[in-house]
């Protein structure tokens, strides 16, 4: 005869849906839920880290201080870079910008190879003249490092000292000059003026300007001055003089 195993009444629970469950089966449910929550957290961790990094300062990123919470909160990452809607490969553009934002990448682009593009002075790179394959197309390759629009070594003070290392004078003079340039700046004054005569001439003058510039650049040796002067005379006679006169008449000295 087969025996029937039963559970004590103390281990039996009646669920809301009418099903009878034992305490051991409920414990198994808790274990499954805990495992699921753990796996969800593991999957979410990289995304949380990415978001935290995007909301942290460059200094915090360079020094690896960011994990799952923003450090030195900033929205700068969402201000400067955008991909035009006309881009045919927006994903590739984003990947390129992300690559440029890596410290090891932009530092190499900015300072190049030690001994060829820079030397170390007081623990910081100092730019030195270079030629041949290692020459930089612009100072510190700022044309390439678009993500920071200049040199960046993690914080303003360190960056200023590195820039100062590239000068032959006392580096402290350069550091002080940089500090002054970053404080109490005033935007250039703009006085809006509507020019009534500009409308009819704008496109024609623009076309003449482009054509005249191209002709001057391609001028044969010894003929540049003559070609340039003829271009300017024709350009002014085509409406530019009227615009200049109206602009001068409407100018108001703001001071």
* Boundary residue ending a domain (178, 193, 222): 178
Domain that holds residue 144: 80-178
User: What is the sign, positive or negative, of the torsion defined by CA atoms of 10, 15, 18, 22?
Assistant: negative
Residue 132 inside a domain? The answer is: yes
Which residues, listed in sequence order, are joined to residue 121 by a DSSP beta bridge?
A: 124
pLDDT for position 202: 78
3-state secondary structure the chain: CCCCCCCCHHHEEECCCCCEEEHHHHHHHHHHHHHHHHHHHHHHHHHHHHHHHHCCCHHHHHCCCCCCCCCCCCCHHHCCCCCCCCCCCHHHHHHHHHHHCCHHHHHHHHHCCECCCEEEECCEEEECCCCHHHCCCCHHHCCCCCCCCCCCCCCHHHHHHHHHCCCCCCHHHHHHHHHHHCCCCCCCCCCCCCCCCHHHHHHHHHHHHHHHHHHHHCCCCCCHHHHHHHHHHHHHHHHHHHHHHHHHHHCCCCC
* pLDDT the model gives residue 16: 53
Residues 240 and 171 in one domain: no
Residues 146 and 94 in one domain: yes
What's this model's pTM, rounded to 2 decimal places? 0.42
pLDDT value at residue 9: 45
Q: What pLDDT is stored for residue 81 in this prediction?
A: 64
**Assigned domain for 133 exists:** yes
Q: Domains in the chain: how many in total?
A: 2
One domain, residues 84 and 167: yes
Ranges in the chain, pLDDT < 70: 1-25, 58-59, 62-63, 77-81, 149, 184-193, 197-198, 252-255
* pLDDT at residue 111 in the model: 87
Quote the pLDDT of residue 5: 47
Place of tokens 């201000």: 79
In a domain, 3, yes or no: no
> pLDDT tens digits for 185-214?
666 666 666 777 667 777 888 888 888 988
Say yes or no: 92 and 131 in one domain.
yes
User: Is 164 part of any domain?
Assistant: yes
Domain identity same for 170 and 220 = no
Residue 238 within a domain: yes
Distances from the Cα of 182 to the Cα of 59, 80, 230, angstroms: 18, 18, 44
Q: Determine the pLDDT at residue 231.
A: 93
């Amino acid at each position: 005869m087969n025996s029937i195993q039963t559970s004590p009444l103390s281990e039996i629970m009646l669920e809301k849906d009418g099903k009878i469950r034992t305490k051991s089966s409920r414990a198994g449910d808790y274990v499954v839920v805990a495992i699921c929550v753990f796996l969800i957290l593991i999957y979410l961790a990289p995304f949380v880290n990415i978001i935290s990094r995007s909301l942290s300062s460059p200094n915090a990123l360079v020094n690896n201080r960011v994990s799952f919470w923003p450090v030195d909160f900033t929205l700068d990452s969402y201000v400067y870079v955008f991909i035009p809607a006309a881009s045919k490969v927006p994903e590739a553009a984003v990947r390129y910008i992300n690559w440029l934002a890596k410290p090891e990448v932009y530092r190499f682009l900015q300072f190049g190879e030690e001994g060829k593009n820079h030397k170390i002075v007081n623990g910081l790179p100092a730019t030195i003249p270079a030629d041949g394959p290692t020459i930089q197309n612009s100072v510190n390759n700022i044309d390439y490092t678009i993500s920071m629009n200049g040199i960046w070594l993690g914080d303003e003070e360190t960056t200023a000292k590195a820039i100062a290392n590239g000068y032959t004078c006392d580096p402290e003079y350069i550091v002080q000059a940089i500090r002054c340039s970053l404080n109490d700046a005033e935007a250039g004054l703009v006085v809006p003026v509507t020019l009534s005569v500009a409308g009819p001439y704008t496109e024609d003058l623009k076309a003449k300007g482009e054509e005249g510039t191209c002709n001057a650049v391609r001028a044969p040796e010894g003929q540049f001055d003559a070609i340039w002067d003829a271009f300017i005379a024709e350009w002014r006679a085509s409406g530019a003089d009227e615009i200049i006169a109206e602009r001068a008449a409407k100018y108001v000295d703001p001071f």
